[in-house]
Every structure is written in structure tokens, then in C-alpha cells.
With several copies, the nearest count.
Chain A
Amino acid sequence: MLKVLFFASLRERLGVGEESIPVPAMATVAGLLNILRQRGEDWADALAEGKRWRVAVNQDMAQADTALKAGDEVAIFPPVTGG
């Protein structure tokens, strides 16, 4: 399983902060996003290609082709606005 986290506006829009998701067959960030987009219109829209979201894997910034394995912590969030 993956531990998947959502933050800020994405967390509010999708109505979930944390959940467990099986490692997808296509075991990359892109594979996980494809599965999430199939959950419905809201998910497909919030996580659409070209939308401004970021992904971190095990607390490091990640890319679409970053590999995933059981036990990984994946976080999906909007561009950061601290400081």
C-alpha cells in the first residue's frame, strides 16, 4: 500500500487528507495519478495534466516518472506559498 496525502486547496476540494491506496500496476507517480483521475469529474479536473499541482515522494519533490513501491509516502499539493 501507499500512504497518500493531500494538502491545502487540494485537500479541501477532494475532501480527503490522507488515505491508503494499493501500489498501481504502473508503479510511478503518473500511474497513481491516472488511477485517482478515474474517481470522478472532480478528481479528473483537480489533477488534470497542466494543472498546477506538485507531488512529493517520501518527502522529496518528485516527477511523473518517479517510481513508487509499497510503503512509500506520496503527497499531492498545490504550488507552495509559504514565507
Chain B
Amino acid sequence: MKVRVQAEDFDISREIAALRTGNAGIGAIASFIGLVRDMNDGTGVSTMTLEHYPGMTEKALADIVSQAEARWELLGCTVIHRVGELKPADQIVLVVVASAHRLHAFQACEFIMDYLKTQAPFWKKELTAVGERWVDSRESDDAAARRWWEQKKAQQ
């Protein structure tokens, strides 16, 4: 497991290569990249600032990955989240999950993103033509995170 919070950009090919090294049992790699969009809720965004809670962010991300590792058969996982000032089209977050089989890789990758979106202490502030605004959390993200909890409960 590799969890990083950083201002620097990342490269998905390099991260996948690092994750795979020496493990030819990996048959499936699912990944996700989150990007800064130039529009949000109908307004143009010129700068996106990511604030975080140093210490807790790393801890929350490691906890989210541990939950995924307990739930699916994983052969490696990398999570990188950027902080600081970003521009439209910049990369924000990377999640890479390796497994022998694709269902595990896909499910764990989606689970990690859903939990990250609701449990990891990052906050986005957008600078738009009409001024600064903090991005509101979405009920759809809470619902997305909830379905994993409900799925687990249903299996017990």
C-alpha cells in the first residue's frame, strides 16, 4: 500500500510500473484519475485550491485502503492526492488497484474513491469570475459511500 499527499503532479504510467514490479500474478489493474474541470455548476473555474488536514489525511487514506484490502483480494494499491493551488485540467487524485481478477480491482477502486470523497479531510475552494467559493459536498457522494456499507451489511 502506498499513500501520498503532495503538491507535485503524478504520472499514472510510472505509478503502475512501481506497483507491478516483480508481481507477475497481477492480471487486472483498475485506476481512477480525478481532474479539475473548467466549469462547475455552470460557472467557469480559473483556480482550484485544495486545503487539507495534515496528518489526518494520510491516516484517513491509509484506513480507507486497509478497508479495501480486508474486503477484496488485492495485490497492490496506490493512492495519491494533491493539495495546494491547481488549474483546470490539472490532476487531483490517483487511485490504482491491482488484483488477480478484474472484479476485485474495479470494486476496490470505486470503493476507495467513494470513501475518499466522504471520509478524507480535503476541501476544495474554487476561484471563479464571480469570486471565491467553497465547493459544497454532494448528497450523491454520501449515497455512493453508503451503498458499500449496505452491501457489506447485506452479506453478513
A–B touch (CB < 8 A): the answer is: yes
Residues of A within 8 A of B (CB): 5, 7-9, 52, 56, 59-61, 75, 77-83
Q: Which residues of B contact A9 (CB under 8 A)?
A: 123, 134
Q: Does B4 contact A (CB under 8 A)?
A: no
Q: Write 12 A-B pairs (CB below 8 A) sorted by A numbering.
A: A7-B51, A8-B134, A56-B56, A59-B55, A59-B59, A59-B60, A61-B119, A78-B134, A78-B137, A79-B137, A80-B120, A82-B116
CB pair B52 A82 closer than 8 Å: yes
How many angstroms between the C-alpha atoms of A56 and B123 in the bound complex?
15
Given A8-B134, A59-B59, decide whether A82 and B53 contact each other with a Cβ distance below 8 A. no
Count of chain A to chain B residue pairs whose CB atoms are closer than 8 Å in the complex: 71
Q: Does B150 contact A (CB under 8 A)?
A: no
**How would you classify the secondary structure of chain B's contact residues: helix, strand, loop or mixed?**
mixed
CB pair A82 B117 closer than 8 Å: yes
CB pair B119 A83 closer than 8 Å: no
Q: Which residues of B contact A56 (CB under 8 A)?
A: 53, 56, 121
Q: Shortest Cβ distance from B10 into chain A, in angstroms? A: 14
How many angstroms between the C-alpha atoms of A52 and B135 in the bound complex?
13
